[in-house]
Structure 1
């Protein structure tokens, strides 16, 4: 593209998607979209669309809040981001959610799988390893906000219940189970036993599409009946559940509104998380050149397909606004009320004072809103609880309302080497704990640290970079 056909907006560091070397990158506005332009000395010029909404993209960084750090860092700054994970002393965000992968194995071999799991891939973590990993999370966070037990498929681990007990015995505010739902659907009594870990426990259930063709393409099986049986069992015990939908262009991006409406009707479902496919691991039926979806595309499709919502119902999450978009709805007496539109965004970022709720809604609704976050105490307490809501999963203690009255919509974008932005990855707040106790951002874990081949490539990259070991963070 000839120079001058775009508007230069910003500068960052990115990666070449072919060799994963660090390269300089321009952020430019062109054709009413946001693009990243970068040049690798070996692989030439690359142009990647990173947003379809210029105005929303410009607003994102206005939502950045002050950094919150873990209790301790685990690795020194030696080669520069993203080659020092982690968490290194240059990282700018603690773990809002820590993923505890207890196994590499799975009872599916999904064509889309960032961990490349299958019935024959890798191994299970030992109980001693899991205990060290849990202790590392607690040492890093004190009282971790959210810990998600994952894999592979964690429910096939032979010591699954012992691991659940170990996790529940620690000071974790909210425990999650990431699952494809097969065991919940097919194992009588499994959901009932999971429900014994309530409260502060939730199922993170894979739910990609209503169409068998999409499920075959992304999961290798038509899992429609499995999802129905799993949700029936979860509803029977009222076990809080989030539906998680992996997105690919041409597959399921036209189903977002339908999935939200379905989830609102399921009593146990507390929200839906939409995750555009990260180019990592196994992506058999995915072409990065044609099938990528940007977070702003997902946001706009949700708005287009959900008449209930307006643009200020889906806003950036201040701990990592490039990667996370969130909106909350309130479920009351069979009705659904959008809630996020009543937040004062300026107050959301001001850590010196609690957030304020803008009282423009009808009298009965703002009485319920205040009740939801006040625990019957002062307005200041209500506002402080709402401030926490826009970071992590909320504790809800109100005389007439509970967690079941909240419904959240999240867009969770995990960058890969195509759209990698070093500024954003430093704010990554979804992390994976390793058996050695290192805690690594989800994004960089899947590019550099998951497999022996990736680690060998990382060592090769590091060998070409001058080390500044033990240097303090900037």
Structure 2
């Protein structure tokens, strides 16, 4: 009689949630045909099989890219119902806030078919400056000196107190301030961009930049923004205002443009990098099918490797604070040359925390070439080039002279989980957080599922079921 063998290799066990009712369920992590899947069963809504990674080897490698979690200075909520129902941050969370997002308005001058915040011109709410400062102070109380704070929305440049908000942020000990924008006002108002540039250094524009194609922009943004993007980049380049291009990726639509966007980005004076974000199935997701339109981190990573010669395999690495959902690569942009750096970091230093060293002994010709391009502030005999906080998953990258922030080019893949692929182990390591109006600090992934707008009413019902012993696990 033939042996019965399962069609997969069992790798691990975790907790997830049912994508229908959001109750906690047990989930297997399995390998099958070179890919990684999550298998979970809800007693009410049945079985789900979700692709986590298209690359088993990269997934297994990422499991080794971990480091001890860095805690905030204080916790904001107690542990009562278990993750992900206690967010705020609770003492069971494993990572402080690398990036804290403050949403200052629900209003937007676009109604994008894809919008995790469900913003639109029909929403009128603006948070008061007093409320926003309270939220900033909550972040400072948690972090002391926050690494990165992002002012977001809606479209934050519409806020009547926009510059007062930036002034308030600059008055606080925030290392790096960002504005998340669709770029419409930047494209229309040169003087506005000039005023923004006065907030540098330590200031950056996080610019929506999804495609060069009209049909794709219509599908993702509901408007042909090609000319808006052209004029926005023109103004940003004029003032060399540090900019990250942010690409929301939909499978089969704009994932084929990954290479073209990278080639464009490295030629722009003001652009310091590109962040690729696969669509999170949350908020407004029109014309989006989970079966055909989802992208995993590994698929985006492979797209970068296949469509661009900017990075090699060892140049796009998991980020140790949250390797399931973040990958990054750094390079030096020196005139027409773009020289990858990440692969030059000795593997044993990758998990050491806030400082890593790039060693050039393995490639002395590259060492000689690099230092010949810099001033004499560094001797060609130097054996290493230290880059402070190189492994931060976000734009903060402080480097010694003569290498300036202008020279740094980074690529980041930021995959936010949703109800289909949510892994409680990974949620606990999330370092990208949204500030709730009441001062709680909540992981981006769970905020959009449980805590945005009126969703907390449903969450409270789940909590009551848990208290009564009927809420899943």
Could you tell me the TM-score, scaled by structure 2's length?
0.93
Residue among 158, 161, 172 paired with 1:159 = 161
Matching of residue 319 in structure 1 with residue 327 in structure 2: no
> 1:65, 1:318 within 8 Å by CA — same for their partners in 2?
yes
**Could you tell me which residue of structure 1 aligns to residue 301 of structure 2?**
299
Secondary structure of 1:56 counterpart: helix
Offset at residue 393 of structure 1 (A): 3.1
Cα 1:456–1:222 shift into 2, 3 Å: same
Alignment of 1:258-273 (within 5 A): 258-273=260-275
Q: Residues of 2 paired with 1:397 and 1:309: CA distance?
A: 21
> 1:28, 1:34 within 8 Å by CA — same for their partners in 2?
yes
**Could you tell me which residue of structure 2 aligns to residue 19 of structure 1?**
21
Residue among 219, 222, 233 paired with 2:221 = 219
**Could you tell me which residue of structure 2 aligns to residue 88 of structure 1?**
90
Q: Residues of 2 paired with 1:290 and 1:394: CA distance?
A: 35
Cα 1:42–1:375 shift into 2, 3 Å: farther
Q: Give unmatched runs, 5+ long, in structure 2.
A: none
Q: Residues of 1 paired with 2:312 and 2:233: CA distance?
A: 29
Please give the per-residue CA displacement for 1:16-50, whole angstroms capped at 9, x wherever unaligned. 11000100000011122111000000001100111
**Could you tell me which residue of structure 1 aligns to residue 68 of structure 2?**
66
Secondary structure of 2:262 counterpart: helix
Residue among 195, 203, 206 paired with 2:205 = 203
Matching of residue 129 in structure 1 with residue 100 in structure 2: no
Residue among 141, 144, 148 paired with 1:142 = 144
Offset at residue 368 of structure 1 (A): 4.0
Cα 1:46–1:211 shift into 2, 3 Å: same
Cα 1:226–1:66 shift into 2, 3 Å: same
Offset at residue 289 of structure 1 (A): 1.5
> 1:375, 1:397 within 8 Å by CA — same for their partners in 2?
no
Please give the per-residue CA displacement for 1:434-470, whole angstroms capped at 9, x wherever unaligned. 1211100000000000021x111101111111399xx
> 1:214, 1:251 within 8 Å by CA — same for their partners in 2?
yes
Q: Residues of 2 paired with 1:346 and 1:281: CA distance?
A: 40
Q: Residues of 2 paired with 1:353 and 1:106: CA distance?
A: 39
Q: Residues of 2 paired with 1:177 and 1:333: CA distance?
A: 27
> 1:93, 1:428 within 8 Å by CA — same for their partners in 2?
yes
**Could you tell me which residue of structure 2 aligns to residue 120 of structure 1?**
122
Cα 1:124–1:370 shift into 2, 3 Å: farther
Please give the per-residue CA displacement for 1:124-161, whole angstroms capped at 9, x wherever unaligned. 10011001001111111001000000000000001101
**Could you tell me which residue of structure 1 aligns to residue 338 of structure 2?**
336
**Could you tell me which residue of structure 2 aligns to residue 455 of structure 1?**
456
Secondary structure of 1:197 counterpart: coil
Following superposition, which runs of at least 4 residues in structure 1 exceed 2 angstroms of deviation? 350-359, 361-372, 374-383, 385-401
Cα 1:370–1:119 shift into 2, 3 Å: farther
Say which is worse superposed, 147-156 or 332-341, in terms of deviation: 332-341
Q: Residues of 1 paired with 2:19 and 2:104: CA distance?
A: 29
> 2:115, 2:285 within 8 Å by CA — same for their partners in 1?
yes
Matching of residue 466 in structure 1 with residue 473 in structure 2: no
Q: Residues of 2 paired with 1:375 and 1:130: CA distance?
A: 43
Q: Residues of 1 paired with 2:154 and 2:232: CA distance?
A: 18
**Could you tell me which residue of structure 2 aligns to residue 245 of structure 1?**
247
Q: Residues of 1 paired with 2:127 and 2:355: CA distance?
A: 44
Offset at residue 334 of structure 1 (A): 2.0
Offset at residue 285 of structure 1 (A): 1.6
Q: Residues of 2 paired with 1:395 and 1:467: CA distance?
A: 48
> 2:16, 2:424 within 8 Å by CA — same for their partners in 1?
yes
Cα 1:290–1:3 shift into 2, 3 Å: farther
Calculate the aligned-residue CA RMSD, in Å.
Answer: 2.3
Please give the per-residue CA displacement for 1:63-86, whole angstroms capped at 9, x wherever unaligned. 101110001010000000000011
Secondary structure of 2:287 counterpart: coil
Q: Residues of 1 paired with 2:382 and 2:129: CA distance?
A: 45
Offset at residue 354 of structure 1 (A): 5.0
Q: Residues of 2 paired with 1:238 and 1:350: CA distance?
A: 33
> 1:38, 1:45 within 8 Å by CA — same for their partners in 2?
yes
Q: Residues of 2 paired with 1:375 and 1:437: CA distance?
A: 45
- Number of matched pairs: 464
Offset at residue 205 of structure 1 (A): 0.2
Secondary structure of 1:82 counterpart: coil
**Could you tell me which residue of structure 2 aligns to residue 472 of structure 1?**
none
Offset at residue 391 of structure 1 (A): 4.1
Secondary structure of 1:189 counterpart: helix
**Could you tell me which residue of structure 2 aligns to residue 50 of structure 1?**
52
Q: Residues of 1 paired with 2:356 and 2:335: CA distance?
A: 29
> 2:135, 2:436 within 8 Å by CA — same for their partners in 1?
yes
> 1:244, 1:273 within 8 Å by CA — same for their partners in 2?
yes
Q: Residues of 1 paired with 2:19 and 2:280: CA distance?
A: 12
Could you tell me the TM-score, scaled by structure 1's length?
0.93
